[in-house]
Amino acid sequence: MATPAAEPAADQSADVAQSTEMAEPKGMAESTEMTTAPQVLAPTNGLLRFSTAGSVDDGKSTLIGRLLYDSQSVFEDQLAAVRKSKVNRSGGPIDFSLLTDGLRAEREQGITIDVAYRYFSTPRRKFIIADTPGHEQYTRNMATGASTADASVVLMDATKGVLRQSRRHAYIASLLGVQHIIAAVNKMDLVGFSQEVFERIAAEFKEFADQIGVRSLYAVPVSALEGDNVVRKSPRTPWFEGPALLEYLENLRVGEVAADAPLRFPVQYVIRPDASFRGFAGQVASGTLRTGATVVALPSGLKTKIKSLVTFEDELEQAGPGASVNVTLEDEIDISRGDVLVDDERRPSSGTEFQATVVWMHADPLDPHKIYLLKHTTRTVRARIKQIRSRIDVNTLEKSAATSLDMNDIGELDLKTTLPLFFDPYRVNRTMGSFILIDQHTNATVAAGIIERAIAPALVSQTTASARTGRSTREERMLRFGHPSAAVWLKDRPRAAELLERRLFEEGWYVQLVGPMDFLSHELITITKAYRLSGAITIFAPLDDGTDQVQAVRAIFGRDSFFLLKKPELNDEDTVAQLVEILYKWRDTHSDSKGGRK
């Protein structure tokens, strides 16, 4: 292991005891009302996940490198490689940022691009650090790193103060439920370790943190390059009475998912090695699984009891939050991936429509007419955006009207899914309240979101279970596809028909083109009835051969779900654009399972 830059404190336990009175820097109590003291733990081996964030060149990677180096968590071969590196922007013998900037492009440009995860430990605690990028174009990577963090260290350059990215990252961390924000004012050596500069920056950040609802905020002056207040207290800041950064993190109490919270067990996989065993594998999101306890399987709504909890090593009597187990049940009921076992008395919210806040993570902007895949725990459904409520300006926190979201934008949406989700609000349960949106054609993750509340609760009853084994209904197909069946008649317009089918298909509609070579004239009625029952949007493109069966097709689909081109003088592109707009309006009024033609 590497030798640290300085010897560790002689009496570490004394520092812990003293830290209960150190959380507030001298002179800050009246001006910023920071957290009065860190929440102290007894010496523990508990894991703390934290992320670093901030603007470009605020020194995030250098800070983490210094943490690893001074806590003796760097292997000698790693240290030797860094010393031999031709890249050194620190001016000292070691460029600590190279310990975390692992990508070749990162080292060449001197920036962080990807999220770098690093593990280290001290006698008191184990840590996982997510070093996230500072560039605005990589905000999505920052959101990824913060999504599993218990705390977030937001760095600010003492020579620049609170910048746009400082606010953006603090807001995203707060939005993603990070419980503790540490404002690390870095590069204090460049301002002569000025108390006035530190307090001014801390007060400005505190004002912003109050606006976004941060409950636990701690400010600390540091010099990542020279090690001041990173692992040990610095003699160059005698005016600062709080603990060093590492000491604060070691003693920070983070809220864990309570074992007595409502049970939530999303089923990830059904294990059936032979006819004598059938188990349901997954990870406990909250609450406790106990043998003999009564649980409810959703969406079926059927009750059963837990027979056993099986792990690789042994069988358990109970399993708490975070435990990965295989559950066997007393009764043979139909459960598959995406289902969830819950408490009978404390069930989650359910619905196909809900309000959410999302961080848009893709270069292609949000298309409110497109159908996306929504992955929530182990359940994947089709979803579309019903409404964009607002776009949030992270600097002013003002909300403005929007028709789309670009990469790194944060917005409030109403979403509608094809099947019910079973969730808790994100503020109550991070696992059960989070989701991602996926482009179903490219499989790219386009957004990460949190659920605020259900708009239209779904009724879950035992009738759902029987529907799984019986004939699928029109309402089920409507939920699955996001729309009822309809017909579009484009006589003698084969190119327009192909363009329309491609457009709808790319947006996720269930659509089928029926061309002039796909059927004989006397087969049209049979084909029309079949496609209407299937729930598809059927585009009919017959040739103008003198046979007009349009009235028969209209009678089968119904007047409200039949669309005939009324402006034959339009070119193919304009025809498609007009029909798509008509179908958007029709879908919005007919996608409710209670609406439309029966």
For the chain, count helices (H), then strands (E).
Answer: 14, 26
76 and 218 in a common domain: yes
- Residue 275 scores a pLDDT above 50: yes
- The boundaries of the domain holding residue 574 are 474-590
pLDDT at residue 266 above 90? yes
200-219 tens-digit pLDDT: 999 999 999 998 888 889 99
Are 422 and 298 a contacting pair, CB within 8 Å? yes
Are both 551 and 448 inside the same structural domain? no
Bridging pattern class, strands 445-457 and 349-360: antiparallel
Q: Which helix (H) or strand (E) holds 180?
A: strand 180-186
pLDDT at 221: 96
Q: How many CB atoms lie within 10 A of CB 70?
A: 21
Number of neighbours of residue 528 by Cβ within 10 angstroms = 22
Q: CA 552 to CA 364: how far, in whole Å?
A: 42
Domain-embedded: residue 509: yes
For position 77, which CATH number holds?
3.40.50.300
Same domain, 355 and 329: no
Element (H, E) at 582: helix 572-590
Compute the residue count for the chain.
598
Contact 97, 62 (CB under 8 A): yes
296: left (phi over 0), alpha (psi -120 to 50) or beta: beta
The CA distances from residue 372 to 380, 439, 481, 496, in Å, are: 10, 5, 11, 25
pLDDT given at position 17:
32
Are 319 and 359 members of one domain? Answer: no
Cα distance between residue 132 and residue 60, in whole Å: 8
Q: Lowest mean pLDDT: which of 27-41, 52-66, 187-201, 540-554?
A: 27-41
Token pair recorded at residue 64: 């983490």
The domain that holds 314 is classified in CATH as 2.40.30.10
Whether residue 229 has pLDDT greater than 90: yes
Check whether residue 214 and residue 90 sit in a common domain.
yes
Quickly tell me which residue has 């003002």 as its tokens. 398
Residue pair 175/86 in contact by the 8 Å Cβ criterion: no
Tell me how far apart the alpha carbons of residues 275 and 117 are, in angstroms, rounded to a whole number.
Answer: 42
Q: Which candidate, 142, 130, 132, 221, places its Cα nearest to that of 182?
A: 221
Cβ burial 529-565 (10 Å sphere, 16+ → b, else e) = eebbeebbbbbbbbeeeeeebeeebbebbbeebbbeb
Q: Read off the tokens for 462.
A: 């035992």
pLDDT, tens only, 298-352: 988 899 999 999 988 888 898 888 889 999 999 888 888 999 999 988 899 888 8
Question: Cα separation of 269 and 581, whole Å?
Answer: 41
Average pLDDT of the segment spanning 547-575: 82
Has residue 358 been placed in a domain?
yes
Query: Which of 250, 280, 298 is the last residue before a domain boundary?
Result: 250
Provide the edge-to-edge strand list for the sheet that holds 47-54: 116-121, 126-131, 47-54, 151-157, 180-186, 216-221
Answer yes or no: do 173 and 124 share one domain: yes
Domain membership flag for residue 328 = yes
Residues 445-453 have a mean pLDDT of 91
For residue 56, pLDDT beyond 50: yes
DSSP string across 429-468: -TTTTEEEEE-TTT--EEEEEEEEEEEEEPP--THHHHHH
Within this chain, do residues 333 and 380 fall inside the same structural domain, yes or no? no
Beta-strand relationship, 47-54 and 151-157: parallel
Band of the pLDDT at 28, cuts 50, 70, 90? very low
Give 179's pLDDT tier (boundaries 50, 70, 90). confident
Which residue carries 């596809």 as its tokens? Answer: 481
| Spatial separation of the C-alpha atoms in residues 235 and 256, rounded to whole Å | 35
pLDDT at 83 > cutoff 50 = yes
Residue 14 within a domain: no
Strand partners, 302: 297
Same domain as 393, residue 285: no
Q: Residue 77 is encoded by which pair of tokens?
A: 């071969």
Q: Which amino acid, 163?
A: L
Degrees, nearest 5: CA angle 541-545-550: 55
Q: pLDDT band for position 136 (50/70/90)? A: low
- The pLDDT value given to residue 356: 93
Beta bridge partners of 372: 383
Radius of gyration of the chain (CA): 29
Rounded Cα–Cα distance for residues 545 and 54 (Å): 68
Domain boundary among 342, 363, 393: 342
Same domain, 166 and 308: no
At 496, the pLDDT band (50, 70, 90 cuts) reads confident
Task: From 429, 464, 499, give the residue that closes a domain.
Answer: 464
Collapsed DSSP state (helix, strand, coil) of residue 509: coil
**Average pLDDT of the chain?**
79
Q: Mean pLDDT lowest for which of 73-82, 340-349, 515-524, 538-547?
A: 73-82
Q: What is the domain count for the chain?
A: 4
Confirm whether 596 is domain-assigned.
Answer: no
Q: Give me the amino acid identity at 485.
A: S
Does an H or E element contain 384, and which? strand 379-392
Q: What are the residues facing 382 on neighbouring strands?
A: 373
Does residue 367 share a domain with residue 500?
A: no
- With respect to residue 15, please indicate whether it lies within any of the assigned structural domains: no
Reduced to 3 states, what is the DSSP secondary structure of residue 114? coil
Whether residue 520 has pLDDT greater than 80: no
| Residue 402, token pair as written in the block | 């929007």
- By percentage, how much of the chain surpasses pLDDT 90? 27
Q: Do 376 and 350 contact (CB within 8 A), yes or no?
A: no
285: left (phi over 0), alpha (psi -120 to 50) or beta: alpha
Q: Which of 264, 272, 315 is nearest to 291 (CA)?
A: 315
pTM: 0.69
Residues 59 and 176 in one domain: yes
* Residue 338 and residue 353 in one domain: no
pLDDT at 295: 93
Alpha helices in 470-508, H assignment, sequence order = 474-481, 494-506
Q: Is 451 exposed, middle or buried (0-12, 13-18, 19+ CB in 10 A)?
A: buried
Q: How far is the C-alpha of 24 from the C-alpha of 598, rounded, in Å? A: 67
Task: Report if residue 116 sits inside a domain.
Answer: yes
Token pair of 318, please?
């109970």
Residue closest to 327 by CA, chosen among 298, 301, 304? 304
Q: What's the pLDDT at 428?
A: 86
Q: Is residue 35 one of the residues assigned to a domain?
A: no
Integer Cα distance of 569 and 575 in angstroms? 9
* Ordered DSSP codes for 108-165: HHTS--S-EEEEEE-SS-EEEEEE---SGGGHHHHHHHHTT-SEEEEEEETTT-S-HH
> At 326, is the secondary structure helix, strand, or coil?
strand
